[in-house]
Structure 1
Amino acid sequence: MKNIKYILTFLLIALFFANCTEEKYELGELKAPSNLAVGINLAGKTTANPNGDGSGDVTFTISGDNILASKIDFNANDAVDLVQVNGGKITKKYTTLGLNTYTVTVIAYGPGGTSTTITADLTVRSNFTPDPAIVTALTNNATKTWVVDKSVAGHFGVGPWTGSVTPEWWSANVNEKVATANGFYTATFTFAKVSATSYTLQVACPDGAFTKTGALTTLPGIPASGAEGIYPYGGGTGAISFVPSSTGITTGTPSTQTSILLSGVDTFIGYGSLQKEYEIMVINANYMYLRVQGTETGNAWYLKLKPTP
């Protein structure tokens, strides 16, 4: 009986599998995006002004077949920085003064991770004249030296780069880093108005520079590795320019819409950042509040400075 039971069980199992039909699933043909194109519209472009009206505003419109998503790199001459394009359209403000040519890279993504890439060149003009009151407050129309103001709370802070204009993640207390990084407070930053269109920044670091290390800073001579802190650095001098802010902060928020753009790798303001554009949030004769993109992705750093006596 036991053998008959086993035989019947085997036959039932065999019959079950014999009646099963195998279903086949096919992904279909994975077609990469085709007919990819990028439309480039320079604000204020006319026959008389073929490179735009000087605002530096450019709108890109991406089109093509089989596009599920797309990204754009606005300038192939600097580090690759692919930005998500929502709805096939995005606007960029180019802030390098004068007439400049940029190579733009667009990547369109299709089914199954397929992609298609195109590049395009554009030449755009950026003209900018800062508010004279900002120049006067910063330089006294000659030279003026500033230091990080350790006497006020929030003289250094960290918050999100987008969606906020406050150091909501962390804010320094009064004299926060006197014991651990006093060079943060003894470094001086002297801004000079050389002519109506020429400006410089001289940085002096008698007790070293407050910075990160290796690839997380541009300052020469900083060690290849190590924790954030004070490192030997004498300082440096470089040209600066005033540019329209490229941070995306809109009018009506606490921002002058004007940034200080440093040149070269030898200078910084307050903290040895990788980024060289410091947005002026507030400035007057006795106070300057700056915002710069932090070394870590997605961070904004805030700095409060005061003039030296």
Structure 2
Amino acid sequence: MKIAKYLKATFLLAVLAFLGCQENDYTFGEIIAPSNIQITAEIVGADDANPNGDGSGVVNFKATADNTISYKYVFDGVETVALSGETSISFSSLGLNSYTITVVAAGTAGVSSTKSIQVDVLSTYAPPEALISKLYGYDPATPNAVTSRTWKIQSVKAGHFGLGPIGGSTPTEWYSAGIEEKAGVGMYDDRFVFSSDGTFTYVTNGDIFGRSPHIVNDLGPNTAGSANGADIENYAFADYTESYTLTAPGGVEIISLSGNAFIGYYSGGNHQYEIFERETPNEMIVRTTDGTPEFDWWFIIVSE
């Protein structure tokens, strides 16, 4: 009897162990590399008379592929995540230039495929002196000097941060932050440094503020921050340096940041910030469209 009981117990343990192994047998299924990558490039302002664009240097890209989860664009060593496959790139080298852009389509289990496209783009835009003097301290007396200015969110002014409809004409129309309303979330101690050499340096002081899921999808898992609705507060992130360009398609001044660079609040998107107003001394009102796209996000920034 003891032997029978022992055999029954042993058999039961073996069955449980087998079932336990089955429950933890996670698989990706069939791993298929992305294929049939298609890339279209719309050069802003291009027509029969101006095949290389209106001189703004802006190109809108769209990529599609089979068996793909996400996309990223690679240009001049800089990677830009575009989950939907759509992004805009601003080319600022004056004159008519050829550029090669590579799309990386990512599938299951990290497998990826790539395809490149070449575009010929005309850029004739030279930013006005008033803008570059304000943005990075340009001095016409020493035009070749490397200068920079440091900016921050103007937290002591109501409406320094907020949102509204895409393409709206009223800043922070749907939500407008009050004075110091976002203290302690990883925004107000951040600094944004624009330099005349085209570099953009972001001093995070250890953490940043952003929107889910864009901040996690683009920058990586949240290891220290706190979720508050759709916001992630105090997301751990180190200082970084990227680049920026200035363009003015259709007369609208745009600051385009490379990679995943941003200002104040990470919301994904194309990382382009329209300068809505710059008449107030030492201040600018800028806005960007998030990566959903769902809202325009507004900021008042002030130079130190």
In the alignment, what sits opposite 1:54? 55
In the alignment, what sits opposite 1:175? 180
Q: Secondary structure at the match of 2:135?
A: helix
Write out per-residue CA displacement over residues 48-69 of structure 1, whole angstroms, 9 at most, x where no aligned residue.
xx534524589xxxxxxxxxxx
Kindly indicate whether the alpha-carbon contact (under 8 Å) linking 2:199 and 2:243 is maintained by their aligned counterparts in 1.
yes
Give the residue type in structure 1 aligned to 2:286: L
In the alignment, what sits opposite 1:75? 62
Write out per-residue CA displacement over residues 170-206 of structure 1, whole angstroms, 9 at most, x where no aligned residue.
000111112x51x210111111112xxxx11111111
Q: Secondary structure at the match of 2:277?
A: strand
Task: Give runs of ≥4 in structure 1 deviating > 3 Å.
Answer: 55-58, 77-82, 93-103, 120-124, 213-222
Structure 2: 5+ residue stretches without partners: 1-42, 64-72, 74-81, 102-116, 139-146
**CA 1:226–1:176 in 2, change beyond 3 Å: closer, same or farther?**
closer
Q: Secondary structure at the match of 2:188?
A: helix
In the alignment, what sits opposite 2:254? 259
Distance in 1 between the 2:56 and 2:192 partners?
A: 29
RMSD: 3.5
In the alignment, what sits opposite 1:274? 268
Count of aligned positions: 211
C-alpha deviation, 1:296, in angstroms: 4.0
Distance in 2 between the 1:144 and 1:169 partners?
A: 31
Kindly indicate whether the alpha-carbon contact (under 8 Å) linking 2:254 and 2:273 is maintained by their aligned counterparts in 1.
yes
Q: Secondary structure at the match of 2:133?
A: helix
1:11-90 pair list within 5 angstroms: 42-43=46-47, 45=49, 51-55=52-56, 74-76=61-63, 80=84
In the alignment, what sits opposite 1:209? 208
1:1-309 pair list within 5 angstroms: 42-43=46-47, 45=49, 51-55=52-56, 74-76=61-63, 80=84, 95-97=90-92, 99=97, 123-141=120-138, 142-178=147-183, 180-181=184-185, 183-194=186-197, 199-216=198-215, 220-223=219-222, 227=227, 228=231, 229-245=233-249, 257-265=252-260, 267-275=261-269, 276-283=271-278, 285-308=281-304
C-alpha deviation, 1:304, in angstroms: 0.6
Give the residue type in structure 1 aligned to 2:297: W
**CA 1:292–1:52 in 2, change beyond 3 Å: closer, same or farther?**
closer
**CA 1:102–1:303 in 2, change beyond 3 Å: closer, same or farther?**
same
Give the residue type in structure 1 aligned to 2:257: L
In the alignment, what sits opposite 1:26? none
C-alpha deviation, 1:131, in angstroms: 1.4
TM-score after normalising by structure 1: 0.58
Write out per-residue CA displacement over residues 117-140 of structure 1, whole angstroms, 9 at most, x where no aligned residue.
xxx997443432211211110111
Kindly indicate whether the alpha-carbon contact (under 8 Å) linking 2:136 and 2:194 is maintained by their aligned counterparts in 1.
yes
Percent of paired sites with the same residue = 28
